[in-house]
């Protein structure tokens, strides 16, 4: 996990800063032009739009429950189960809370969506559950190449899910970018908690074993 700590963890501070920067600047004319340009580029792209399915709540819930069951039955990793709950479950609640706080209307497209727009739930929670899957797949892998490929695949899918909301007209690009940033920052926060708990638990076991030997 050292490679993650060297690159992924410091990046979380940058994404948190970018999130707040977007929050301040998205009403500006310049960001509005970026949103329009992104829709003109992606709007109506059927393939990109179809990737939205991977970020639907029922898909995320089904895969998250399956991962929790796997961690419970096959690994007996109870902190890992909490990891999934915090990323996919609490992350979704956090997204809904942010939407209510910032209260941004969705783009003017006839989709009948009544929820607010900022930040994108598909972008935020989609990244959270995909990165969580990648985290546990690579947790005990030795091959750096395979680890990188798994993370690359998760990142590509997360990007695709986010952009699908622009292609379908459900979100502005600024909503999606903010969702990625918020999701990534929350993922790293949970990962730091998880690894700290794992390290403390291993130290506890080592001390207990030492006392038993004596």
pTM of the model as a whole: 0.86
Q: Minimal CA–CA distance to 166: which of 55, 41, 25? A: 41
Per-residue pLDDT of 80-131, as tens digits, reads 999 999 999 999 999 999 988 887 877 765 455 556 778 898 999 999 999 9
Residue 80, domain extent? 2-213
Domain of 174, CATH number, reads: 1.20.144
What the block records as the tokens of 55 is 């970020």
How many angstroms separate the CA atoms of 120 and 52, rounded? 12
Per-residue pLDDT of 43-57, as tens digits, reads 888 999 999 999 999
**Number of domains comprising the chain:** 1
How many angstroms separate the CA atoms of 3 and 134, rounded? 14
How many angstroms separate the CA atoms of 125 and 158, rounded? 9
What the block records as the tokens of 130 is 């995909």
How many angstroms separate the CA atoms of 176 and 180, rounded? 6
């Amino acid at each position: 996990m050292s490679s993650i700590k060297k690159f992924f963890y410091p990046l979380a501070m940058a994404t948190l800063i970018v999130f707040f920067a977007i929050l301040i600047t998205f009403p500006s004319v310049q960001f509005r032009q970026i949103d329009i340009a992104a829709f003109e580029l992606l709007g109506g792209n059927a393939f990109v739009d179809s990737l939205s399915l991977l970020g639907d709540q029922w898909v995320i819930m089904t895969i998250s429950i399956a991962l929790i069951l796997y961690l419970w039955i096959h690994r007996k990793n109870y902190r890992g189960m909490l990891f999934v709950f915090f990323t996919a479950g609490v992350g979704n609640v956090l997204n809904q809370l942010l939407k209510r706080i910032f209260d941004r209307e969705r783009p003017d497209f006839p989709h009948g969506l009544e929820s607010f727009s900022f930040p994108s739930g598909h972008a935020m929670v989609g990244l959270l559950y995909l990165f969580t899957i990648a985290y546990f797949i690579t947790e005990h892998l030795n091959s750096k190449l395979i680890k990188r490929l798994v993370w690359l695949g998760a990142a590509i899918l997360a990007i695709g899910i986010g952009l699908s909301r622009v292609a379908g007209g459900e979100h502005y690009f600024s909503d999606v970018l903010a969702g990625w940033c918020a999701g990534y920052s929350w993922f790293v926060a949970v990962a730091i908690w998880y690894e700290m708990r794992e390290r403390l638990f291993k130290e506890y076991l080592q001390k207990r074993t030492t006392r038993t030997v004596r």
